[in-house]
Structure 1
Amino acid sequence: MTQPETGLHYPFDRPAALEPPVEWAGLRDKCPVATVTLPSGDQASLLTRHADVKQVLSDPRFTRQLNAEDAARISDSESGGVFNDSSLATSLPTGDDMHVRWRRMITKWFTARRMTMLRPGIEAMAEQLIDEMVERGQPADLRAGLGFPLPVWVICDMLGVPHADRDRFAYWSDTLLNLSRYEQAEIDAAQAEFMQYMSAHVASKRAEPGDDLLSELTVHAEQWPDGVLAATGMGLLVAGHETTANMIGKMVSLLLADRRRWEQLLADRSLVRTAVEEVLRYDANLGFGMPRYINEDVEIAGTVIPRGTTVLCDMAAANRDGHVFDSADDMDLTRSPNPHLAFGVGTHSCIGQLLARTELQAVLDVLLRKLPTLQLAVEPSQLRRVEGLIIGGLSEVPVRW
């Protein structure tokens, strides 16, 4: 397979915050296994086709062993970032058997039944936050007024941590998700504070269990060291609010960028579920992607990937693959089935995907009901991306109603 003649630096630049990079289509068609240079300066093999990304994320030979000596560092920090070396990455179980056991104990808290029970509370909190946003007046930043505080409230409640600490969580999360924003000393200090905080929280739950996930794990999973439980709390806190907070803002922006989409939902509220799935597929600003490490030669798309290679799966690019999705570059709110890869696939797929879907559907339902005249307060081309982090998002979402 022919590689590009000029070097590709990843992540790619974008014409605008909601638009895909121009490189995607060419890579999918002509170079499905491309060599890219990461923010660290190291190189990785980038996959952009749906079939290839799905294959790698489902193949146990492609591991999360990104702390191997010859694995590519991701971020420009000394450690390489959260994927390579952090208290979070090194404390969670990575062996196949241990990882399966760890996921099994966590997923008990993310079942469809639990999400159904959570839904009324999520809708009530969304209504309260929207009322407060309206009372403050317009234009408003929907990300700050609704997108960020809602998932923080949900995950804090689930973990039994104070909502008042949410600003600290946001800063700690951002340093963990660093690509190029923070220096190593700042990252180390923030991670140490985060681990110290969560370790103390786990200890308090062992002493006085409550009605929350971490309390249950301390009571029923004594075989797990406190370090694993603290890292579990950190991981869920980061994933439980950062990704969904950003997705709420992107979802609303994408639906309002073309008013016909919003009007279609106002006319038929039964489309909320498929609309959320289509937003997840269509989102071109999904984030950095999912890196994997291979310690044996493997062939992908006719190219032999040598052992010691870091392989980067770009799920957002794969979600625009025209071989899988008809009119892949068009948003179809009725699309079904919709086998997008926004949450990954296989044994390492996102644990909290049912929670994310529940939050997104609840927020969209409430917004359509309470603010049917909602509109962007700026042109879509003026929206600005979150920069320097591995997550994809918008720095603010100005709206009127």
Structure 2
Amino acid sequence: MTDSELLNYPISADAALEPPAEWDELRSRCPVAHVRLASGDQATLVTRYDDVRTVLSDPRFGRGTGRKDAARVANTEDGGVFNSEMATVLPQDGEGHLAWRRLVGKWFTAKRMSALRPGITAMADQLVDEMVAAGHPVDLKAAFGFPLPVWVICDMLGVPDSDRHKFAHWSDCLLSMTRYTQDEMMASMSEFGAYMAHHVELKRTERGDDLLSELIDATDADGRPLSNDVLVATGQGLLVAGHETTANMITKMVAMLLADRSRWEQVLADPRLVRSTVEEALRYDVNAGFGMMRYIDAEIELSGVSVPSGTTVVCSMAAANRDEAAFEDAARLDLTRTPNPHLAFGAGAHSCLGQALARTELQIALETLLRRLPTLELAVDADKLTRVDGLAVGGLSELPVRW
């Protein structure tokens, strides 16, 4: 593959749990590649671990939200999630962004995660009870992987998880690259915005022990109360990020372990491996979605290639996590791998704010399934599993299991 060839991105793969064949070639021969996005816009794709980490960690580079020449993700007029109203309202860079992260980050500390563990475990047990009562086979994504993180983030925000099916549709529309039309996405965002605005107003009159209630009384970097638009966008962003990626990752993690059931048996025999298994599943995940975008407004050199100012760079953390230069035997799922400095949550100032919560949910999900359903197995062959298509987040359409 030469640097002049233009790939369509995201790159498709033959099987849901296997990486695209192009990853190895890109890393070895064309680590700074030209790609075409679903919008038709061109961008530069980086796939080596060091390059991805360099771009994501460089404080000079932001997402390019609002830049006229920044590449758009979706095949709609507004370009999708990175160009949405939610993305433009929240502070993206500088002190404003850091101040916003400090405010929200108080709800994702290790101490708070420890306090949440009993409640999350009880919810996980309840979901398994419901699965067992319903009988098998069952779609683990619908019955367990999706409702668990939805319940958690709804409780944190103080919104009813009974509305989770609305959230799922709104999230899918927001994260669409090719699945929904511009009109469908606009209608969804209008409904989502109105819903969250109504919820914020309720919190103004009756505070609760939740994140939004606390943010209503908080101030921004300039000492001013957070605007209603910022409160609404924060609620939307956390609701989407707080359940969509984790729900998919729970499902993918279990699929990885059951596709070769000796892996499941290994953790079953030694539950102390749960934490390292979660980290390795995050590293090994080939279906992680779009990746992270950065707008390069100062020339940078990556793998000996000059990337000019005005370039939109797509960082494939999933491809970087399979880089043999960073991980020995990178193509093998090693449940004992440690240390494991994967880039699943990104790096730098824009690294995933909720990664402590995601790790907690993944650990509890795996602990609960091992404890309650030790005989869990796939109800279909692994090569029959299918990917979620047309969204910026990666996942499996369903995960049929039995026990």
- The aligned residue for residue 360 of structure 1 is 362
Confirm or deny that 1:50 pairs with 2:86.
no
The 2-side partners of 1:291 and 1:111 are apart by 26
Secondary structure (helix, strand or coil) at the match of 2:306 reads strand
Paired letter, 1:197: Y
Of the three residues 236, 239, 263, the one matched with 1:237 is 239
Verify the 8 A CA contact 1:286 1:393 in the aligned structure 2.
yes
Query: Which 4+ stretches in 1 moved above 3 angstroms?
Result: 2-6
The 2-side partners of 1:44 and 1:5 are apart by 13
- The aligned residue for residue 140 of structure 1 is 138
Of the three residues 367, 370, 373, the one matched with 1:371 is 373
- Number of residue pairs aligned between Structure 1 and Structure 2: 399
- The superposition leaves residues 193-235 of structure 1 with CA deviations (integer Å, 9 ceiling, x where unpaired) of 1111111111111111111010011123362101101100000
- The aligned residue for residue 282 of structure 1 is 284
Verify the 8 A CA contact 1:130 1:146 in the aligned structure 2.
yes
Confirm or deny that 1:98 pairs with 2:96.
yes
- The aligned residue for residue 149 of structure 1 is 147
Q: Offset at 1:13?
A: 1.0
Confirm or deny that 1:177 pairs with 2:175.
yes
Paired letter, 1:206: R
- The superposition leaves residues 3-27 of structure 1 with CA deviations (integer Å, 9 ceiling, x where unpaired) of 4453211111101001000000000
- The aligned residue for residue 110 of structure 1 is 108
Question: What aligned pairs does 1:235-384 form with structure 2 within 5 A after superposition?
Answer: 235-384=237-386
Confirm or deny that 1:66 pairs with 2:68.
no
- The aligned residue for residue 389 of structure 1 is 391
- The superposition leaves residues 280-315 of structure 1 with CA deviations (integer Å, 9 ceiling, x where unpaired) of 000000110101101122211111111111000000
The 2-side partners of 1:100 and 1:280 are apart by 26
Q: Offset at 1:45?
A: 0.4
Verify the 8 A CA contact 1:28 1:48 in the aligned structure 2.
yes
The 2-side partners of 1:95 and 1:258 are apart by 43
Secondary structure (helix, strand or coil) at the match of 1:243 reads helix
CA RMSD of aligned residues (A): 1.0
Q: Offset at 1:67?
A: 2.4
The 1-side partners of 2:218 and 2:310 are apart by 39
Q: Percent identity?
A: 62
Gaps of 5+ in 1: none
The 2-side partners of 1:197 and 1:34 are apart by 41
Secondary structure (helix, strand or coil) at the match of 1:109 reads helix
Verify the 8 A CA contact 1:66 1:292 in the aligned structure 2.
no
Secondary structure (helix, strand or coil) at the match of 1:299 reads strand
The 2-side partners of 1:220 and 1:311 are apart by 34
Secondary structure (helix, strand or coil) at the match of 1:61 reads coil
Verify the 8 A CA contact 1:93 1:102 in the aligned structure 2.
yes
Confirm or deny that 1:32 pairs with 2:31.
yes
Verify the 8 A CA contact 1:87 1:195 in the aligned structure 2.
no
Gaps of 5+ in 2: none
Given the two structures, how large is their TM-score scaled by the length of structure 2? 0.98
Given the two structures, how large is their TM-score scaled by the length of structure 1? 0.98
- The aligned residue for residue 188 of structure 1 is 186
